[in-house]
Amino acid sequence: MKNDAGNDRRKFLLTMARDVGLLAFGGFIWSAYVDEAVANKLALRPPGALKGKDFLKTCIKCGMCVEACPYDTLKLASPGENIPIGTPYFEPRDVPCYMCTDIPCVPACPTGALDVESVSTDGKLDINKADMGVAIVDEKNCIAFWGIQCDACYRACPVMDKALYLEYDKNDRTGKHAYLKPIVDPDYCTGCGMCEHACVTKKPAIIVRPRELVMGEVGTHYVKGWDKKDEKRLENAHEIHTVTPRSEKKAVDTLNDMGGLLDD
């Protein structure tokens, strides 16, 4: 009898262990897959989309933004496209965002993954606040940088002269012509991709990528001394003294101390 009870207990424990083991096994495969599936950060999102992981977290993949888009710009990622599955994105070389002033895609979102606040000024929708990405120019393959006159991207830009302006430069090669170089100002660029769509080169020499991939970050210890606003950051700054055993001597003394090297 006692033995039976022992067997039952053993059976119970082993069954439990097996179930938990199976669960962990499944969990590891599942989470590894999901981790890979959400890894691609290259996709351009609709206007007003929350940033990075917050967007993936909040988007329910219903496609109502896609249906609201009058230009068929937006698509839902399907399996095999290597973009987090079911999430909305667009490829500006095919169809850019035409920056509708009423931004129909954003209010269509039921979850707030497309945030109305982020594309509004004083409670009114303002597409110029959209931040879908930033355009970058490949100066090697942009023919305007060769000296050939082309301002296709500049003409296409809906925030012309702010987000994309032409910089004039003299062409030393010919001695009598000018360069009209397209320059992007990321402060104004919305990432709509009309420039990429308009670019005349075989593969576009101006492309849009998500802002967090394109932009660098300076760090707080650099201060623009010529900028009054930035200089203000120093107002409350105070000196920091680091005290170590070496602090006993002045730096100059330490340098002048030959440590007996010249004694002879």
Partner 1 sequence: MIKHKYMILRRLTQIGVMLLYVGANFWGWKVLEGNLSASKLFEKIPLADPYAVLQMTVAGATLASDVIIGAVIITVLYALIGGRAFCSWVCPINMVTDAANWLRRKLRMNQVAKKPPVYRNARYWVLGLSLILSYLLGVAAFEFVSPISMLHRGIVFGLGFGWAAALSVFLFDLFILKNGWCGYVCPLGGFYSTIGRFSLIRVTHDAEKCTECMHCKEVCPEHQVLFMIGKESIPVLSGECTNCARCIEVCNDDALNFHIRSFAQQVKKEK
Of 33 and 146, nearer to partner 1 (C-beta) is: 33
Q: Which helix H or strand E contains 54, and what residues bound it?
A: helix 52-58
Between 99 and 138, how does the x/- string for binding to partner 1 read (CB under 8 A)?
----------xxxx--------------------------
Of 9 and 18, nearer to partner 1 (C-beta) is: 18
- Judge residue 121's burial from the number of C-beta atoms within 10 Å of its C-beta, 0-12 exposed, 13-18 middle, 19 or more buried: exposed
Alpha helix ranges (H) inside 157-250: 194-198, 211-214, 228-231
Q: At its nearest, how many Å lie between partner 1 and the CB of residue 63?
A: 5
61 phi-psi bin (left φ>0, alpha ψ -120 to 50, beta other): left
Of 47 and 182, nearer to partner 1 (C-beta) is: 47
Q: At its nearest, how many Å lie between partner 1 and the CB of residue 9?
A: 21
Q: At its nearest, how many Å lie between partner 1 and the CB of residue 116?
A: 9
Q: Which two tokens stand for residue 68?
A: 């609201």
Between 49 and 88, how does the x/- string for binding to partner 1 read (CB under 8 A)?
----xx-xxx-xxxxx-xx-------xxxxxxx--xxx--
Q: Which two tokens stand for residue 61?
A: 């993949």
Of 34 and 183, nearer to partner 1 (C-beta) is: 34
Q: Which two tokens stand for residue 215?
A: 């932009």
CB 184 within 8 A of CB 136: yes
CB 189 within 8 A of CB 134: yes
Q: Strand runs (DSSP E) across the chain, as ranges?
A: 75-76, 88-89, 120-121, 124-125, 134-137, 164-171, 177-184, 206-209
Q: Which of 27, 51, 169, 183 touches partner 1 (CB under 8 A)?
A: 27
The DSSP 8-state label assigned to residue 46 in this structure reads P
Candidates 26-34, 90-98, 218-226, 234-242; binding stretch for partner 1 (CB under 8 A): 26-34
Q: Which of 12, 15, 26, 149 touches partner 1 (CB under 8 A)?
A: 26
Of 75 and 181, nearer to partner 1 (C-beta) is: 75
Of 85 and 160, nearer to partner 1 (C-beta) is: 85
* Chain CA centroid to CA 92, Å: 16
Positions touching partner 1 (CB under 8 A) are 19, 23, 26-27, 30-31, 33-35, 37-38, 53-54, 56-58, 60-64, 66-67, 75-81, 84-86, 109-112
